[in-house]
Each structure stands twice: as structure tokens, then as C-alpha cells.
Amino acid sequence: MSIHISAKPGEIAKIVLLPGDPLRAKYIVDTYLQDAKLVSSTRNIYFYTGTYKGVQVSIGASGMGCPSIGIYSYELYTEYEVDCIIRIGTCGAYTSDLKLFDLINIEVAASESTYAKYAWGIEGNAIAHQGKAFDIIKSTAAENALQLNCCAIHCSDIFYRSTTNIPAVAVQHNCLAVEMEAFALFANAKYLGKTAAALLTVSDIIPTHEKISADQREQALLPMMDLALEAAFKLAER
């Protein structure tokens, strides 16, 4: 049991899928997992453990932003001996070259956040995915004829801004989209020698103001959930 997760030792699997929203975590569990058990509900952040194709997987929520996923991923890695975390979530595209519902496998997360520097002394404003999960996601997408964009993204602490200009760090690293969690996840994994990847669905096109409606979101995210779970299955085999 950790400060923010009340699961007992052994109740969290070695591979964890981490959406931001607790209700999305429950939806994934109800849709995909067999023999699922709720193992933590502290702060209404639900964690479940069940099986997918016979492989044990845990699914929980990270909350929003680097500070929140920083806490949950660190405790999963250190208190529950998790080997791999795959963040699954949504992002806003900085370019109309991306379309609604496109999938992104994050190569590098670039950020103005000071999280990595002040938590772990990691310098620089960009951190790559960690370990083999990125490549397994990529190969799994190819095997299933899923189009997958592998690129840099901007990980921002800010959701609302006074300007529509793309931030300098995103321009520097040619970031095609923006989200709020991957930088801290990758920083924790790098410091701890763990595996981390992030798989995103484009939910908004910022230049054109297109967005997925609330009614579309659950069905729209199914390809991402399928891909993440198939990748988790392959990770467990290796």
C-alpha cells in the first residue's frame, strides 16, 4: 500500500495502462478485462487488475498533468514493482496534417515543465519514451494495419492560454500535438530504469477547431485501447 494507492502488495500487475480519467479506466476494464477486481479507490482514482487474453494487466487513472501522473507512476514503479506503464489518452493536434481519431505513439515528450529537473536532476526539455514498449506498440499497429504516427509531442502544464501561438519548445522539437502527462511519466521511468510509453488519440485539431464530441469519445478511443492491450499482451510474453 502506498500513500495514494491502497492496493495490497501483489494486487497490481507488472504492466499498467494509465488513462487520465477514472471513468475511462472503468470503461476499459468493463469492455476488455476478465475477472477484474477493484484493488484501489483512494481519492476516487480507481485501479483494477484483471486479465486480457490470459495476461494479468492493471488499469488505473493518472489524473491530469505532470504532478498527478508523476505521483501515481512513481508509486506504481517503486511501491508495486511495476515494470511498464503505458499512458493512453487524448491530445490536441497543432497541425491539420493530423486528423481527428489519428493515433500517436510518442517518440519524445518536450516540455517547459521543471518536473524532471527538480525531481531527478534530469536536464533538458525533452525526454524520449523508455524501454521496449514503444517498439512493440509500433510493430503491433503494423501487424493490424493500423496507421500510427510516431512523433514528438508537447507536454504542457497549461490547458488554457492567452495566445494561440505554438510554444517555443514545441517548435524547437517539431511537436505535432499537445497533451499534459507524458513528460513526467518518461522522466520517472528514465530515473528508475523502467519502461514507459504513451499512446494518444487526436481529439482536437487546434488550427481548425475541430473536435470529437462527448458522445463520440468512448467509441473513438476503442482503436487506441485495442492497440494498448495487444501491446501489453506482447510485452508480457517477452
User: Catalytic amino acids?
Assistant: 204
Beta-carbon contacts of residue 162 (< 8 Å; ≥ 6 apart):
none
Q: For cell 499482451, name the residue.
A: 233
Which letter does DSSP use for residue 83 in this model? Answer: -
Q: Tell me the three cell numbers of residue 163.
A: 495566445
Which helix (H) or strand (E) segment is 86 a member of?
strand 84-93
Amino acid at 175: C
Beta-carbon contacts of residue 213 (< 8 Å; ≥ 6 apart):
none
Amino acid at 133: A
How many whole angstroms separate alpha carbon 48 and alpha carbon 42?
A: 12
The answer to whether the CB of 111 falls within 8 A of the CB of 175 is no
Q: 180, exposed or middle or buried, with CB in 10 Å at 0-12, 13-18, 19+? A: buried
**Whole-number CA gyration radius for the chain:** 17
Which letter does DSSP use for residue 130 in this model? Answer: B
